[in-house]
Structure 1
Amino acid sequence: MERNHERYMFLKWGKQAFSRFSVVPPGTGICHQVNLEYLGKAVWSELQDGEWIAYPDSLVGTDSHTTMINGLGVLGWGVGGIEAEAAMLGQPVSMLIPDVVGFKLTGKLREGITATDLVLTVTQMLRKHGVVGKFVEFYGDGLDSLPLADRATIANMSPEYGATCGFFPIDAITLEYMRLSGRSDDLVELVETYAKAQGMWRNPGDEPVFTSTLELDMGDVEASLAGPKRPQDRVALGDVPKAFAASAELELNTAQKDRQPVDYTMNGQPYQLPDGAVVIAAITSCTNTSNPSVLMAAGLLAKKAVTLGLKRQPWVKASLAPGSKVVSDYLAQAKLTPYLDELGFNLVGYGCTTCIGNSGPLPEPIETAIKKGDLTVGAVLSGNRNFEGRIHPLVKTNWLASPPLVVAYALAGNMNINLATDPLGYDRKGDPVYLKDIWPSAQEIARAVELVSSDMFRKEYAEVFEGTEEWKSIQVESSDTYGWQSDSTYIRLSPFFDEMQAQPAPVKDIHGARILAILGDSVTTDHISPAGSIKPDSPAGRYLQNHGVERKDFNSYGSRRGNHEVMMRGTFANIRIRNEMLPGVEGGMTRHLPGTEAMSIYDAAMLYQQEKTPLAVIAGKEYGSGSSRDWAAKGPRLLGIRRGDRRVVRTYPPLKPDWDGDPAAGVSTGRNA
């Protein structure tokens, strides 16, 4: 609360300044899950000119995983801040009618297979099919056995499979979830009546007409992870050690790596940190922490592990960050919380943590050992994003997995262990314990899920807008305009309106431009504008220190998006990005041409600005994929870059799109960023 006090003041000011602006206070949960469990209505009704009208619920949100609400039959997707601000001020969101891809689901998930395994398979298939800029609608009789929480998991990862949204139509399962989550009987009746009257109701056997289709028998889904750095790179559980080894070979200077365990001491005890160690295991992110079946499975697996005497490996930093307080209620009701606590999966808060790079530092001895041995270590999380440099600066491989698999990897402690065939630990008698020995049955999970009740939702959301005493104590001045603070390091007046004219200036040719960076394929918005931690020796870190901010209060790039000074310094500052102008170097570095000296991209850009030299960036395919992050366009614009990829800038005006036919505008180097 102290660290983010200024941002919360800004939100409280907005609440009093705008009549139709409400704030769900911090500490309540992840916005997407709160929307799914409480705010979303599926059908709205209001009195207009003395007559009640009903219309479909819809949503745009300033986070790419806004798409989660499509699991409830609400059409929604993520937009950048510019679009959201315009919508808040009453402007329409316009778009071309998109292609709609039909994804037919048949069959049922087999014993031991989770919704996470399903969504990773769906993500892989849709990425291969190609759905960028398209809607995806799920249909087929497989939906009859797919709970709404599983649908929300699939809808949540729409950005990862590239679609604008992944929509599930309203049906009986939608109504069942609305009742469970405490929606009123009147609302549930309205949703059913309206959906059926408008032809929006899903009936068994429906075969809508789509632009294109693909099909999956859910009985074919296998236990999976995704990694080491892209959500669409699904790996079967038994193939993870091989995939890890392949990723390690791609690391820089791998031929010189010793790969020997590194000795370290923690809490007075000697340990050895091996190559491939799992140093972060996090049950986190809106993707899975809204899903009772996988969370109960994690708790049941933890219970069986503790009963047998298994322990988390000492180098693993574990955490549990539910998407809402309801999760804590049903884990406690099932008496599973103590077992998760015993394995280190203690509650750290309700919100986005490890998935956005907010896991915090590793213990100092662990960080020292990683650096000393130049070890390739891993993070396993139940999230939706595993881009390079996102989770932790020292963790080079990041793996998406279901919550029970996250717990299992915390026990095994190493990506080189094959959980499909190798023991993940030993019981008190010294006998090997395999994953199959502690994996809960479908019946055990179902019995636990039955403990989830509508009373839990009603209790937790009864005072959802009230907040804690700390929130209530924040005082703001009542005014129609915000009082900018000149010394603020969080919220500063944007420069984008400087010298803005009523009519746009004519487009001019670009002459004498320099190349600021030459990047490879799959340069995501996380590479262009990172969301995670700020390094002290980075341009953004130095800026904050020069303004009196201590390292412990740096927070993250994501938290400082209201300060353009931080964000322009953080542009292309991803620690894993590779600029081919400096072969063999990782991080946001470049050359100030015609010189040869290596320097930060920000520092070079400022030198070019002094020289009044326009800039360009050359990148390969999939440049700008990932989040709908407007700072991926605004940041480069502030650096003086005048040419940007069409995928990023088609919505955001600061950059001029690439021109057709120029090979330099779409170079495919065949290499990743």
Structure 2
Amino acid sequence: MSSVDSFKSKSELKVGDKTYTYYDLKVAEANGLEGVSQLPASLKVLLENLLRNEDGDTVKADDIRAMAAWVKNKGAVEHEISFRPARVLMQDFTGVPAVVDLAAMRDAMVKLGADPAKINPLNPVDLVIDHSVMVDYFGQTTSFTQNVDREYERNIERYNFLRWGSSAFNNFRVVPPGTGICHQVNLEYLAQTVWTAIADGGEVAYPDTVVGTDSHTTMINGLSVLGWGVGGIEAEAAMLGQPIPMLIPEVIGFKLTGKLPEGATATDLVLTVTQMLRKKGVVGKFVEYYGDGLVNLTLEDQATIANMAPEYGATCGFFPVSQPTINYLAETGRTPDRVALVEAYAKAQGLWLDPSVEPVFTDSLELALDSVLPSLAGPKRPQDRVLLSDAATAFTSALQGEFGKAGDESKRVQVEGSDFTVGHGDVVIAAITSCTNTSNPSVLIAAGLVARKARALGLKVKPWVKTSLAPGSQVVTDYLNSAGLSEDLDAMGFNLVGYGCTTCIGNSGPLPEAISAAVNAGDLVAASVLSGNRNFEGRVNPDVRANYLASPPLVVAYAIAGSLNINLTEDAIGTGSNGEPVYLKDIWPTTQEVTELQRKHVTNAMFSNRYSDVFKGDAHWQAIPVAGGQTYGWDAESTYVANPPYFDGMTMTPDKVTDIVEARVLGVFGDSITTDHISPAGSFKAVSPAGKYLIDRGVPVSEFNGYGARRGNHEVMMRGTFANIRIRNKMTPEIEGGVTKHFPSGDVMAIYDAAMRYQSEGRNLVVFAGKEYGTGSSRDWAAKGTKLLGVRAVIAESFERIHRSNLVGMGVLPLQFKVDGWAKLGLTGEEIVTIRGLENVQPRQELIVELFRASDGKVARFPVRCRIDTPTELEYYKNGGVMPYVLRNLARSAQATE
């Protein structure tokens, strides 16, 4: 807590019979921080964080004054601050490599002659295992049990490692598999909105804040907890007590007015918001919601909107504390003392929603809720919203245009062993999945009601559709069971398959062999409809090229219709048992029907029961032995967990940064290259570099698992970097997938193979890209793999926030074109690249890139902006990344105290 308190803000707050210490923003305003009561609520949270952590070193009085000055400059003046989150949240795909890194840091501490126990989380860390379950089995009552058994078979090495981590590290807890998605466990149980800690002989109250190793950590913004996704690299630094450097952000206000109309869902609302904010341009900015429309949204609606902040590009999507916040905390089993504290604290600090007051924002936009219409988003990006009424014609346009199937629209292929055919636009996956909607009982109950009404009319799901239900928490099953809706969903094929991310992360599992064979034989553009938040190409399933986000009730409807070529607003969705056509309006529930069931069947007791012993786990988890000491006993034969090479040969003094001289180009990529393109999360084939590596080590194809589950092994992951089956390298425009051209030989090969060949030749590498490079998940392996392939710099037209930070965190230089992009340069990839002046480079400095063209001997030069944005990031870069930086500091500290 603050050791300086320049603005004398330390005060007391009495709530009931308890007294808390807190850092009072109103007192600080009276003591020199003029105007801070006009700040957006999200910036008030940052301001409190600075007041509480002022130490004259990492947080100075000038940093606090800069926050106050925001009221006038609205973020136009760049100023770095140090943010200290209260806690860290992880999921297992990103959490396992983070724990691998911590284990490797302990080994490195031993080699540096320091105490390995110094590598220990100083802030609370919760890791929720939620990304490893795959939909191998579906459409039957045993699906859940079979998928869980298979999950443990595949992942036992990883789970052994996590069990070791939970005992070896302090402040580190693991929520076992089969519990729920990290974001919903966070929303329903972990988050407190106002946190407390014992300090200086008393109990200090302060806003709950969090960073997470999943970009959708922002879902917790719906509960008025300021938090966002970071890469595992940055999360590790936060765990180890390092502040997160950031520029004071611009804040875009999003005013909501009115009320959602009949027939529109929270999903339709969030797809509309995502489209609007992507168009507005909010990358690297905060978004904060306000206006009288907030009183007509449930807390779960707010969480749905906040969840998709990565899809609209914002750092966060924050909601102030309001009565729905208080109600939700009480209804989900938080203690009465905590609930009372949250309300009292929010009102004392000016964090309570007042719809009549409009804070100062950098800019704002507005949406009337009654204008929201049923929607989907696809076929490749979450921001590409289409109205439900236009979905069929929009798919036809995509089929003819971006999929290049004009004139082929009516093609059908016989499915072997069946009496049906499949064609373009047929829905082969219909999945109620992921975290966007599974926090929201209204849309899940609506899905159950659609299933109930359809079942009553005799409708069935089409035989080519793979159906699944993967709730975000066990509470969902409880209220669906209580309402009798599980029986209806089961009857329509939406049986429980697991509690985890599943389809949205690429764990959709394989299509039935006959369906897959027909799709591939006909080169069909098959479709998925999922209630998730990510539909990037190559992500959901390798056989499915068109992916659409939709609400859970629409997922059920499309499973019945079986095709995107049907206009659900006009055409019959199917034929009832009486032989009459049935339309969507015949099975769509009213808002009143949904609300009545929600009020009756979603109870406080369900949350209290499910979270009473959340870290215990099932019999599988309890049977895993806990073994090991302070350092991990690495298994050289493991293909899941391996000691990474980041600290090999590391000394206490970093080497000087050298210029990039005569580097080769590894890849030239277009716009919207996602972290899925750079570091895939789904399945991979035996012919890929990663597949060949596993086969060479005796792993059969059936046990490959996915890239996500293999993130604890750098050998697999570096082979998977730039290996997405849908990525297109402009150096090999005729080939889809992770290939490139080696120069000067001109040989075409896998990007990994080319990188290794260049390494053997002693060549540095660079990558060129277009706009929005690194969009999507907070996937640290997209930066780690880039580093291990030997890439020194990525030169792009613009970067997504998290990936830019991750690149710096791995010691890779992000450079941004100042004028034209690579297309105007006429790049072929044969150029030789030189970038000088790196030893003394400064944040956001202009640098010159030299291109030597071997074909004509000419040299072209163009300016770029160094996207190392802050002095702290510069220190990370000079140290070769944030992990070596932290490790050296901890080693010095340990040696100084010995």
- TM-score, normalization: structure 1? 0.96
**Structure 1 equivalent of residue 886 of structure 2:** none
**Structure 1 equivalent of residue 350 of structure 2:** 199
Deviation (angstroms), 1:664? 5.3
**Structure 2 equivalent of residue 65 of structure 1:** 216
Distance, in Å, in 1 between the alignment partners of 2:521 and 2:569 is 31
Distance, in Å, in 2 between the alignment partners of 1:377 and 1:393 is 10
**Structure 2 equivalent of residue 566 of structure 1:** 716
Deviation (angstroms), 1:667? 6.3
Q: Which moved more, 1:242-251 or 1:623-632?
A: 242-251
User: Are the counterparts in 1 of residues 399 and 406 from structure 2 also a CA contact under 8 Å?
Assistant: no
Deviation (angstroms), 1:630? 1.8
User: Are the counterparts in 2 of residues 69 and 155 from structure 1 also a CA contact under 8 Å?
Assistant: yes
User: Are the counterparts in 1 of residues 740 and 751 from structure 2 also a CA contact under 8 Å?
Assistant: yes
Deviation (angstroms), 1:10? 1.5
**Structure 1 equivalent of residue 683 of structure 2:** 533
Distance, in Å, in 1 between the alignment partners of 2:608 and 2:172 is 23
**Structure 2 equivalent of residue 37 of structure 1:** 188
Whether 2:550 is the aligned partner of 1:397: answer no
Letter in 2 for 1:207: E
Distance, in Å, in 1 between the alignment partners of 2:265 and 2:824 is 39
Query: Helix, strand or coil for the counterpart of 1:436?
Result: helix
Distance, in Å, in 2 between the alignment partners of 1:534 and 1:41 is 40
**Structure 2 equivalent of residue 221 of structure 1:** 372
Distance, in Å, in 2 between the alignment partners of 1:168 and 1:329 is 28
Distance, in Å, in 2 between the alignment partners of 1:200 and 1:276 is 48
Distance, in Å, in 2 between the alignment partners of 1:668 and 1:386 is 32
Distance, in Å, in 2 between the alignment partners of 1:206 and 1:5 is 53
User: Are the counterparts in 1 of residues 179 and 473 from structure 2 also a CA contact under 8 Å?
Assistant: yes
Structure 1 pair 371–508 and aligned structure 2 pair: CA distance change class (3 A): same
Match 1:633 to one of 773, 783, 796: 783
Structure 1 pair 285–635 and aligned structure 2 pair: CA distance change class (3 A): same
Match 2:511 to one of 352, 356, 362: 362
Query: Helix, strand or coil for the counterpart of 1:197?
Result: helix
Whether 2:172 is the aligned partner of 1:21: answer yes
**Structure 1 equivalent of residue 706 of structure 2:** 556
Whether 2:497 is the aligned partner of 1:497: answer no
**Structure 1 equivalent of residue 400 of structure 2:** 249
Distance, in Å, in 2 between the alignment partners of 1:444 and 1:574 is 44
Letter in 1 for 2:322: D
**Structure 2 equivalent of residue 262 of structure 1:** 413
**Structure 2 equivalent of residue 519 of structure 1:** 669
User: Are the counterparts in 1 of residues 290 and 355 from structure 2 also a CA contact under 8 Å?
Assistant: no
**Structure 2 equivalent of residue 412 of structure 1:** 561
Structure 1 pair 250–563 and aligned structure 2 pair: CA distance change class (3 A): farther
**Structure 2 equivalent of residue 135 of structure 1:** 286
Deviations 1:329-359 (A, max 9, x none): 0001110111111111010010110000001
Deviation (angstroms), 1:668? 10
Distance, in Å, in 2 between the alignment partners of 1:279 and 1:660 is 41
Distance, in Å, in 2 between the alignment partners of 1:409 and 1:254 is 22
Match 2:232 to one of 70, 81, 84: 81
Distance, in Å, in 2 between the alignment partners of 1:592 and 1:482 is 39
Q: Which moved more, 1:121-130 or 1:236-245?
A: 236-245
Whether 2:810 is the aligned partner of 1:649: answer no
Query: Helix, strand or coil for the counterpart of 2:165?
Result: helix
Distance, in Å, in 2 between the alignment partners of 1:77 and 1:399 is 25
Letter in 2 for 1:592: H
Deviation (angstroms), 1:556? 1.3
Deviation (angstroms), 1:549? 1.6
Deviations 1:227-248 (A, max 9, x none): 0000000000011112212222
Distance, in Å, in 1 between the alignment partners of 2:441 and 2:823 is 44
Distance, in Å, in 1 between the alignment partners of 2:572 and 2:735 is 38
Gaps of 5+ in 1: none
Match 2:255 to one of 85, 94, 104: 104
Distance, in Å, in 2 between the alignment partners of 1:216 and 1:388 is 30
Structure 1 pair 19–640 and aligned structure 2 pair: CA distance change class (3 A): closer
Distance, in Å, in 2 between the alignment partners of 1:388 and 1:162 is 18
**Structure 1 equivalent of residue 302 of structure 2:** 151
Query: Helix, strand or coil for the counterpart of 1:53?
Result: strand
Structure 1 pair 661–185 and aligned structure 2 pair: CA distance change class (3 A): closer
Structure 1 pair 258–380 and aligned structure 2 pair: CA distance change class (3 A): closer
How many residues of Structure 1 are paired with residues of Structure 2 in the alignment?
667
Letter in 2 for 1:67: T
Match 2:631 to one of 460, 472, 481: 481
Q: Which moved more, 1:613-622 or 1:378-387?
A: 613-622
User: Are the counterparts in 1 of residues 787 and 810 from structure 2 also a CA contact under 8 Å?
Assistant: no
Alignment of 1:134-533 (within 5 A): 134-251=285-402, 254=405, 257=408, 259-266=410-417, 269-450=418-599, 451-533=601-683
Distance, in Å, in 1 between the alignment partners of 2:731 and 2:816 is 23
Distance, in Å, in 2 between the alignment partners of 1:417 and 1:176 is 41
Distance, in Å, in 2 between the alignment partners of 1:221 and 1:633 is 38
Deviation (angstroms), 1:115? 0.1
Structure 1 pair 545–125 and aligned structure 2 pair: CA distance change class (3 A): same
Match 1:658 to one of 802, 805, 815: 815
Q: Which moved more, 1:220-229 or 1:254-263?
A: 254-263
Deviation (angstroms), 1:371? 0.9
Deviation (angstroms), 1:645? 4.2
Letter in 1 for 2:537: E
User: Are the counterparts in 1 of residues 250 and 286 from structure 2 also a CA contact under 8 Å?
Assistant: yes
User: Are the counterparts in 1 of residues 795 and 816 from structure 2 also a CA contact under 8 Å?
Assistant: no
Distance, in Å, in 2 between the alignment partners of 1:160 and 1:507 is 35
Deviation (angstroms), 1:511? 2.5
Whether 2:580 is the aligned partner of 1:580: answer no
User: Are the counterparts in 2 of residues 259 and 375 from structure 1 also a CA contact under 8 Å?
Assistant: no
Q: Which moved more, 1:330-339 or 1:591-600?
A: 591-600
Deviation (angstroms), 1:2? 2.1
Structure 1 pair 340–562 and aligned structure 2 pair: CA distance change class (3 A): same
Deviations 1:50-98 (A, max 9, x none): 2121111010111001111110010011111111111112222221211
Measured on the aligned residues, the alpha-carbon RMSD in Å equals: 1.6
Which has the higher Rg, Structure 1 or Structure 2?
2
Distance, in Å, in 2 between the alignment partners of 1:668 and 1:418 is 45
Deviations 1:112-149 (A, max 9, x none): 00000000000001111111111111000000010000
Letter in 1 for 2:318: F
Gaps of 5+ in 2: 1-151, 827-898
User: Are the counterparts in 1 of residues 285 and 315 from structure 2 also a CA contact under 8 Å?
Assistant: yes
Match 1:618 to one of 762, 768, 771: 768
Letter in 2 for 1:294: V
Query: Helix, strand or coil for the counterpart of 1:497?
Result: coil
User: Are the counterparts in 2 of residues 520 and 668 from structure 1 also a CA contact under 8 Å?
Assistant: no
Deviation (angstroms), 1:512? 2.4
Letter in 1 for 2:629: S
User: Are the counterparts in 1 of residues 228 and 315 from structure 2 also a CA contact under 8 Å?
Assistant: yes
Structure 1 pair 534–404 and aligned structure 2 pair: CA distance change class (3 A): same
Deviation (angstroms), 1:203? 1.9
User: Are the counterparts in 1 of residues 766 and 795 from structure 2 also a CA contact under 8 Å?
Assistant: no
Distance, in Å, in 1 between the alignment partners of 2:421 and 2:817 is 55
Query: Helix, strand or coil for the counterpart of 1:507?
Result: coil
Deviation (angstroms), 1:254? 3.1
Distance, in Å, in 2 between the alignment partners of 1:383 and 1:48 is 41
Letter in 1 for 2:518: A
User: Are the counterparts in 1 of residues 529 and 548 from structure 2 also a CA contact under 8 Å?
Assistant: yes
Distance, in Å, in 1 between the alignment partners of 2:391 and 2:409 is 22
- TM-score, normalization: structure 2? 0.73
Deviation (angstroms), 1:192? 0.5
Distance, in Å, in 1 between the alignment partners of 2:510 and 2:232 is 29
